[in-house]
Amino acid sequence: MARPHRIVLVRHGESEGNVDDTVYERVPDHALRLTERGRRQAREAGVRLRELFEDEPVSAYVSPYRRTHQTFQLLRLDPSRTRVREEPRLREQDWGNWQDRDDVQRQKAYRDAYGHFFYRFAQGESGADVYDRVGAFLESLWRSFEDPGHPPNVLLVTHGLTMRLFCMRWLHWTVAEFECLSNPGNGEMRMLQLGADGRYRLDRPFERWCTPEPYDLTG
């Protein structure tokens, strides 16, 4: 099995929805574009990635949303060394179709009180639903490592919540640990790096807004 040396996760650059939440009332979530600031963030992420990967090949997976496609294009990775696939299971948490701003604000308040992992938006998904499809993607990803010629680098261009849930699934975090983590900023990266002991470790933690409450699984 040819496990990659590193698995890099990148959040898309700033989108129209990050600066104006009324845009969801007239533009589908999947069709939102990057702002000029978001394009700059993507280009800056590309500089860091090209330095990280150097001349090594990369297997890239990109969420099907427009803002993630745009982010990937602006990374400017060498196409001769990059194998790219669109991966719908890495999409953003579905919040329904057209969104009413006031209704979404109410539901976000309910989610904060109920819990980000279990709360399900009225016409959309819960964090647990996203966790399940990320888990299904991970099974496919692991099967790809059976190819002895698999590239030493994997790149995922995706969304903040999906990044946290991917790491939760990979590193076996509890729900309580997940609930205490904040999304990375737009254009930010996290990397799972393979150590000499055969285990992957996160290069730097996600910011925490609280301390997780310990669970007693023995009682």
Determine the Cα–Cα distance for residues 66 and 30; give it in Å rounded to an integer. 6
146 in active site: no
- Residues facing 86 on adjacent strands: 62
What amino acid is encoded at 200 in this protein? Y
Which H/E stretch holds residue 190?
strand 189-194
Active-site hit among 12, 69, 150, 159: 12
Q: What is the 3-state secondary structure (H, E, C) of 49-76?
A: HHHHHCCCCEEEEECCCHHHHHHHHHHC
What amino acid is encoded at 142 in this protein? W
What amino acid is encoded at 193 in this protein? Q
Determine the Cα–Cα distance for residues 158 and 167; give it in Å rounded to an integer. 13
Which H/E stretch holds residue 6?
strand 6-11
CA dist 51 to 46, 47, 48, 75, 77, Å? 9, 6, 5, 12, 10
92 in active site: yes
Active-site hit among 92, 125, 177, 179: 92
Active site residues: 12, 92
